[in-house]
């Protein structure tokens, strides 16, 4: 049976994911209605290959180690250096990449046939042993990877991965503790990007660090990184697949939104990411800029530290949630480029249920809940955000809305790296962030954010702990019948709305500015810029 047919059969049982994608998360932070962005055929002409693609980005990468980074800027760079066993194509279907095929031997055993003739950019062969070394590194407690939960192997934590075994040079065996429905989907996650075993060994010996010296099988390699300024990638001359059309890619760190657009308009750069909603009309009016927009399977949210008073009281969390007018945020700040979120899952994620009741905007009831919780006059708190204009604007609107129910919220803006570190450590009261369900399965969109196993950096920055939710999440990831899984996730979503560990704001639309001579660009469901087919028209 060929790969595609096997996947189609498996999809009925395993994922039941819609192939109609919508357009934020390296976990922390879509599928296009029109995968070519603006609807125009970006490949209508035959551009010349080569050239340096210049991209102005909001924030610098934190780490180029795929087992260590959880942020979107890092993932956008690393995506060009590393590759996974499987990936999602423009239609959202899982396809082989470093894998060639697979066979499900029984409910808990999978054999994955690997592509032969692939080498890492340092010349190290890619084979079954390399896969084993990578997964063992990811799960090594001494490494302390915040992404280990994606391939969790500890049965005491309801981990799904029992063992990784080398069958032969190009066949790896994956055994799970129980039938695990999203397994293939998890192998599309960037946590499964393959690093050279030689680089892993060199890091163990203290000779290098993968975070700043990445070695993968991808179409580009790192040429230089000037922190806070730019990252330059050059073409991997020994790439195993069809070579990229670009000679190099330069990611330029430009925090100011207006500066990024000015650089795009004058031709200094080719891509500006992101474009703020307030600048859409400027982009659309300029002959030197084009707007690329995609819907999202991600969530923009405001989270509470549920371990701190007063947010350890569900009545306070619900009161804050009911004091927030989402429509005002969506229409006033992001220009309608988003849909209101009821719970954590976007409509095109498997497990989403459109009948989940939501906490309606009701300031008067919010005041009653605060009084019931012992805060009739409100209280003081802080709202954290990183240096992102949309999030800063959201914080200001929320600050004004909370004032109406007596809550005095001070806004604090942090640098991106510090923001991630401090929220992972639980130093916050409230904060604004995003999460992309990059596997298109509810397991990733709920287990990471709400299971008590994942407090802090892995995703649960709310530090939410609830034994009933844990049990439901554990049960849902072990269930193989798709209808039963959907019903389980319906209950989970209803529970999470009622418990309100976070405010589910909206599912955003991604906005990117392109120069008219950029062809072949598309944006994937996990908010990653897909660049290997990009050309620059002369």
Phi and psi at 18, nearest 5°, equal -65, 140
Q: Which one is predicted more confidently, 123 or 10? A: 123
Percent of the residues in the chain that have a pLDDT greater than 70, as a whole number: 91
Whether pLDDT at 438 is above 90: no
Specify whether the CB–CB gap between 480 and 499 falls below 8 A.
no
Whether pLDDT at 10 is above 80: no
Of 16-20, 154-158, 361-365, 431-435, least confident by mean pLDDT is 16-20
**Integer Cα distance of 476 and 471 in angstroms:** 9
DSSP string, 436-461: E-TTSBHHHHHHHHH-GGGBTTTSBT
Phi and psi at 186, nearest 5°, equal -70, -30
**The two three-digit tokens of residue 391, written as one number:** 């999030």
Specify whether the CB–CB gap between 132 and 172 falls below 8 A.
yes
Give the pLDDT confidence of 449-473 residue by residue, as tens digits: 999 999 999 999 999 999 999 999 9
Whether pLDDT at 23 is above 60: no
Whether pLDDT at 117 is above 50: yes
pLDDT of residue 45: 44
Give the pLDDT confidence of 245-255 residue by residue, as tens digits: 999 999 999 99
Mean pLDDT of 277-284: 93
pLDDT of residue 48: 55
**The two three-digit tokens of residue 501, written as one number:** 């560990």
Q: Is 11 helix (H, G, I), strand (E, B) or coil?
A: helix
**Integer Cα distance of 179 and 183 in angstroms:** 9
Cα angle at 15 between 10 and 21, to 5 degrees?
A: 120
**Integer Cα distance of 516 and 526 in angstroms:** 24
Domain range annotation of the chain? 298-508
pLDDT of residue 450: 97
pLDDT of residue 40: 36
Whether pLDDT at 21 is above 50: no
Residues in the chain: 538
Phi and psi at 136, nearest 5°, equal -65, -40
pLDDT of residue 38: 32
Whether pLDDT at 30 is above 50: no
Q: What is the pTM of this model?
A: 0.80
pLDDT averaged over every residue in the chain: 90
**Sign of the CA dihedral 143, 148, 151, 152?**
positive
Specify whether the CB–CB gap between 230 and 250 falls below 8 A.
yes
| Burial zone of 39 (CB within 10 Å; 0-12 exposed, 13-18 middle, 19+ buried) | exposed
Of 105-109, 152-156, 329-333, 389-393, least confident by mean pLDDT is 152-156
CATH 3.10.105.10 at 298-508, yes or no = yes
- C-alpha of 114 from chain center: 26
Give the pLDDT confidence of 64-115 residue by residue, as tens digits: 999 998 888 999 999 999 999 999 888 888 999 999 999 999 999 999 999 9
**The two three-digit tokens of residue 147, written as one number:** 């992404």
pLDDT of residue 6: 37
Of 18-27, 326-335, 337-346, least confident by mean pLDDT is 18-27
Closest Cα partner for 77 from 244, 211, 242? 211
Give the pLDDT confidence of 194-238 residue by residue, as tens digits: 999 999 999 999 999 999 999 999 999 999 999 999 999 999 999
**Integer Cα distance of 191 and 147 in angstroms:** 6
Specify whether the CB–CB gap between 162 and 177 falls below 8 A.
yes
pLDDT of residue 5: 33
């Amino acid at each position: 049976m060929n790969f595609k047919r096997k996947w189609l059969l498996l999809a009925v049982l395993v994922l039941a994911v819609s192939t109609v994608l919508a357009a934020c998360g390296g976990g922390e932070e879509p599928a296009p209605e029109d995968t070519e962005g603006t609807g125009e055929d970006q490949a209508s002409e035959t551009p010349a290959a080569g050239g340096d693609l210049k991209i102005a980005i909001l924030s610098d990468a934190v780490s180029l180690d795929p087992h260590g980074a959880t942020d979107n800027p890092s993932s956008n760079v690393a995506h060009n250096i590393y590759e996974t066993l499987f990936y999602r194509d423009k239609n959202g279907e899982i396809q082989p990449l470093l894998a060639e095929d697979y066979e499900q031997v029984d409910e808990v055993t999978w054999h994955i046939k690997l592509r032969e003739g692939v080498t890492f950019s340092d010349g190290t062969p890619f084979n079954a042993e390399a896969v084993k070394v990578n997964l063992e590194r990811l799960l090594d407690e001494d490494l302390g990877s915040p992404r280990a939960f994606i391939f969790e192997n500890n049965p005491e934590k309801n981990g799904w991965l029992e063992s990784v075994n080398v069958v032969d040079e190009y066949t790896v065996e994956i055994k799970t503790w129980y039938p695990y429905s999203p397994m293939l989907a998890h192998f599309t996650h960037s946590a499964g990007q393959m690093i050279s075993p030689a680089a892993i060994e060199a890091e163990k010996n203290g000779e290098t660090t993968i975070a700043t010296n990445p070695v993968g099988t991808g179409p580009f390699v790192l040429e230089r990184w000037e922190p806070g300024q730019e990252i330059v990638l050059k073409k991997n001359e020994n790439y195993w697949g069809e070579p990229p059309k670009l000679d190099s890619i330069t990611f330029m760190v430009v925090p100011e939104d207006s500066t990024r657009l000015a650089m795009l308009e004058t031709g200094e750069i080719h891509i500006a990411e992101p474009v703020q909603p307030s600048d859409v009309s400027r982009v659309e009016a300029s002959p030197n800029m084009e707007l690329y927009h995609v819907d999202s399977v991600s969530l923009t949210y405001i989270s509470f530290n549920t371990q701190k008073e007063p947010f350890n009281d569900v009545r306070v969390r619900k009161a804050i949630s009911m004091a927030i007018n989402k429509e005002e945020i969506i229409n006033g700040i992001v220009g309608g480029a988003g849909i209101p979120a009821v719970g954590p899952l976007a409509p095109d994620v498997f497990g989403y249920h459109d009948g989940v009741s939501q906490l309606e905007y009701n300031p008067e009831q919010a005041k009653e809940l605060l009084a019931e919780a012992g805060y009739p006059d409100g209280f003081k708190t802080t709202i954290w955000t990183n240096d992102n204009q949309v999030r800063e604007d959201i914080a200001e609107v929320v600050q004004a809305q909370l004032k109406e129910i007596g809550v005095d919220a001070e806004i604090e803006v942090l640098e991106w790296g510090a923001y991630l570190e401090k929220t992972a450590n639980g130093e916050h009261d409230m904060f604004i962030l995003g999460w992309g369900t990059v596997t298109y399965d509810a397991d990733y969109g709920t287990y990471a954010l709400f299971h008590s196993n994942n407090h802090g950096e892995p995703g649960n920055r709310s530090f939410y702990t609830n034994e009933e939710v844990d049990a439901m999440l554990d049960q849902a990831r072990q269930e193989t019948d798709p209808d039963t899984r959907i019903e389980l996730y319906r209950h989970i979503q209803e529970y999470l709305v009622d418990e309100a560990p976070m405010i589910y704001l909206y599912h955003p639309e991604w906005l990117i500015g392109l120069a008219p001579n950029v062809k072949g660009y598309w944006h994937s469901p996990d908010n990653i810029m897909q660049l290997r087919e990009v050309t620059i028209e002369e």
